[in-house]
Amino acid sequence: VSHYLHQIESKAHLNAFVEVYQQEALQKAATVDEKIREGTAGKLAGLIVGLKDVLSHTGHGVQAGSKILHAYKAPFTATAVQRLLDEDAIVIGRQNCDEFAMGSSNENSSFGPVLNAQDITKVPGGSSGGSAVAVQAGLCHASLGSDTGGSVRQPAAFCGVVGTKPSYGRVSRWGLIAYASSFDCIGPITKSVEDAALILEVMAGADEFDSTVSSRNVPAYSGLLGSERKVRIGYIAESIENESIAPEIRQRTKEVLERLMEEGHVVEAVQMHTLAHLLPTYYILTTAEASSNLSRFDGVRYGHRSNEAVDLESLYKKSRTEGFGDEVRRRILLGTFVLSANYYDAYYTKAQRVRSLVRAETEKFFENYDFFISPVTPTTAFTIGEKTEDPLQMYLADIFTVHANVVGCPAISIPNGTDRDGMPIGIQIMAPYFGESDMLSFARQLQ
Ligand code: GLN
């Protein structure tokens, strides 16, 4: 703990942590030391973790990177966090992120941008940017992030670390501040696949506080990493051919596919027609869900309340106007629009139907293949400020990651070399619903 506290202090300019629990972490470390001596320590004893600022932890601030939750303290602990604590993990602090997990660059945080430790002029990715940089820069062993459309995998790719999004319903969302409830997943950001497997097996499984969590048995993922079986892999030809994807990323992805082929795996280019509709489907449904989820921030129950209000309506309006940043407002407006009476069928209902089609086509794909492989991002980490004026460009870059959330499948991003400037490149493995064991095992083989 002392080592990491020192690292956090010496790399404070990266802006990865918004709060550090110095005394508490040191005290917990002493308790865990005692347990280790007694032989009663849990299986995560000694693991130092950071929490994305969307995870509730009793008595600690949590504000989703937003002014609207200024000074709010969590009255309970997220199930995923509690399970880590129960196994003697030590929480060292909470980490910067895009406001309400909306973004791909961590530039939408009320705490200011996070800097990529590889090159501080570049973004770390988002929305779990602080969580990825904390692992990249050695400020903690592992972080918990949330992934609604790539927010664990994409920053992991930009920072050269491992980002794991479990199946929807594998890990309880209880205590996670909601962005889009039918997409949100809590996932670990780690240096290795082994650590991801260990953390996932501790966090996953049924929870009486979240009825969408599956009661399926949780395999001991970390003990199942050894297999070296031959697998069937599908990929989309465009992902290694399309010129809008950075040449070095295409090249690196191609090299992995070729290597796998040489090793005797089946590797085939496939066509999936519904993928062309992924981004509009994702952005229509998530903004709809966000507009509904964020209606609870009304200036009455949580955090920021405007001092300028003169009546109930101005209290709502002014508190929300002062509390929410531009991107969150943009998404609330979009979501409110697609849910409005005149447009509901044209946008929301249609997007739900497309979601079913994507799911069906993906399920069909997995009847013939074990894994779907793609790049994680079309470019490596870009320069801070480069895309802030053009939200559409930012949304388009989520093309590879949103698929897993639209269909609910697990997916993992692992490092796949760097570009000529030394910026990390990631590769993504997506597996069938609840196929975490095989996915982690294969990722371990690739890493
Ligand atoms: N970049 C995506 C978005 O802005 C994903 C965010 C996330 O997964 N929370 O919505």
pLDDT digits (tens, 9 = 90+) for 29-86: 999 999 999 999 999 999 999 999 999 999 999 999 999 999 999 999 999 999 999 9
Tokens encoding 17: 């942590």
Predicted confidence (pLDDT) per residue in 230-260, tens digit: 999 999 999 999 999 999 999 999 999 999 9
Which pLDDT does position 228 carry in this prediction? 81
Decide whether any atom of ligand 1 lies within 6 Å of the 148 Cβ: yes
Kindly state the average pLDDT of the residues 374-397. 94
Pairing of strands 232-236, 371-375: parallel
User: C-alpha distances in angstroms, 319 versus 46, 298, 307, 314, 315?
Assistant: 42, 7, 8, 8, 6
Local structure of 122: helix, strand or coil: strand
DSSP H helices, 11-140, are: 22-38, 79-86, 129-136
Sign of CA dihedral 101, 104, 109, 112: positive
Does the annotation count 151 as an active-site position? Answer: yes
Which pLDDT does position 447 carry in this prediction? 85
Query: What is the fold of 2-222?
Result: Amidase signature (AS) enzymes (3.90.1300)
Q: Could you tell which of 123, 128, 279, 286 is best to mutate to test the pocket of ligand 1, judged by most ligand atoms within 8 Å of the CB?
A: 286
DSSP secondary structure letters along 329-393: HHHHHHHHHHHSTTTTIIIIIHHHHHHHHHHHHHHHHHHH-SEEEEES-SSSPPBTTSSTT-HHH
How far is residue 99's CA from residue 14's CA, in Å, rounded to a whole number? 17
Q: Contact at 8 Å (CB) between 204 and 171?
A: yes
Kindly state the average pLDDT of the residues 354-382. 98
Rounded to 10 deg, the angle between the 193-203 and 79-86 helix axes is 110
Decide whether any atom of ligand 1 lies within 6 Å of the 150 Cβ: yes
Does the annotation count 165 as an active-site position? Answer: no
Specify the ligand 1 atom closest to the Cα of 283: 10
Decide whether any atom of ligand 1 lies within 6 Å of the 151 Cβ: yes
Decide whether any atom of ligand 1 lies within 6 Å of the 129 Cβ: no
How many C-beta atoms lie closer than 10 Å to residue 361's C-beta? 15
As a residue count, the chain comes to 447
How many C-beta atoms lie closer than 10 Å to residue 23's C-beta? 8
Ligand 1 mean position, distance from CA 219 (Å): 28
Ligand 1 mean position, distance from CA 79 (Å): 22
pLDDT tier for residue 211 given thresholds of 50, 70 and 90? very high
Which pLDDT does position 376 carry in this prediction? 98
The complex's ipTM works out to 0.97
pLDDT tier for residue 368 given thresholds of 50, 70 and 90? very high
Specify the ligand 1 atom closest to the Cα of 147: 8
Ligand 1 mean position, distance from CA 354 (Å): 19
Pairing of strands 90-95, 17-20: antiparallel
How many C-beta atoms lie closer than 10 Å to residue 167's C-beta? 23
Does the annotation count 66 as an active-site position? Answer: no
Cis peptide before 127 (omega within 30 of 0): yes
Predicted confidence (pLDDT) per residue in 20-38, tens digit: 999 999 999 999 999 999 9
Nearest CA owner, ligand 1 atom 5: 149
Q: Could you tell which of 66, 99, 104 is best to mutate to test the pocket of ligand 1, judged by most ligand atoms within 8 Å of the CB?
A: 104
Nearest CA owner, ligand 1 atom 10: 102
Tokens encoding 294: 């964020």
Q: Contact at 8 Å (CB) between 66 and 328?
A: yes
Per the prediction, the chain carries an average pLDDT of 97
How far is residue 388's CA from residue 421's CA, in Å, rounded to a whole number? 22
Say what percent of the chain tops pLDDT 90: 96
Q: Could you give the count of Cα atoms lying within 13 Å of 130 in the half-sphere of its Cβ?
A: 34
Which pLDDT does position 160 carry in this prediction? 98
Q: Contact at 8 Å (CB) between 135 and 14?
A: no
Ligand 1 mean position, distance from CA 286 (Å): 9
Specify the ligand 1 atom closest to the Cα of 405: 8
Q: Is the pLDDT of residue 227 over 80?
A: no
Predicted confidence (pLDDT) per residue in 90-148, tens digit: 999 999 999 999 999 999 999 999 999 999 999 999 999 999 999 999 999 999 999 99
In the chain, count H helices and then E strands: 15, 11
How many C-beta atoms lie closer than 10 Å to residue 305's C-beta? 17
Q: Is the pLDDT of residue 186 over 80?
A: yes
Ligand 1 mean position, distance from CA 64 (Å): 13
Q: Could you tell which of 131, 147, 148 is best to mutate to test the pocket of ligand 1, judged by most ligand atoms within 8 Å of the CB?
A: 148
Q: Is the pLDDT of residue 355 over 80?
A: yes
Predicted confidence (pLDDT) per residue in 397-430, tens digit: 999 999 999 999 999 999 999 999 999 999 999 9
Ligand 1 mean position, distance from CA 150 (Å): 6
Domains of the chain, by residue range, sit at 2-222
Ligand 1 mean position, distance from CA 382 (Å): 16
Q: What region does 210 belong to: left with phi over 0, alpha with psi -120 to 50, or beta?
A: beta
117: CB partners within 8 A, 6+ apart? 11, 14, 124, 133, 136, 137, 159
Q: Is the pLDDT of residue 279 over 90?
A: yes
Which pLDDT does position 333 carry in this prediction? 97
Which pLDDT does position 303 carry in this prediction? 87
Catalytic choice (28, 52, 165, 318): 52
Q: Could you tell which of 53, 96, 97, 102 is best to mutate to test the pocket of ligand 1, judged by most ligand atoms within 8 Å of the CB?
A: 102
Catalytic choice (109, 110, 151, 441): 151
Place of tokens 């989309």: 236
Predicted confidence (pLDDT) per residue in 297-343, tens digit: 999 988 899 999 999 999 999 999 999 999 999 999 999 999 999 99
Decide whether any atom of ligand 1 lies within 6 Å of the 128 Cβ: no
How many C-beta atoms lie closer than 10 Å to residue 418's C-beta? 15
Decide whether any atom of ligand 1 lies within 6 Å of the 398 Cβ: yes
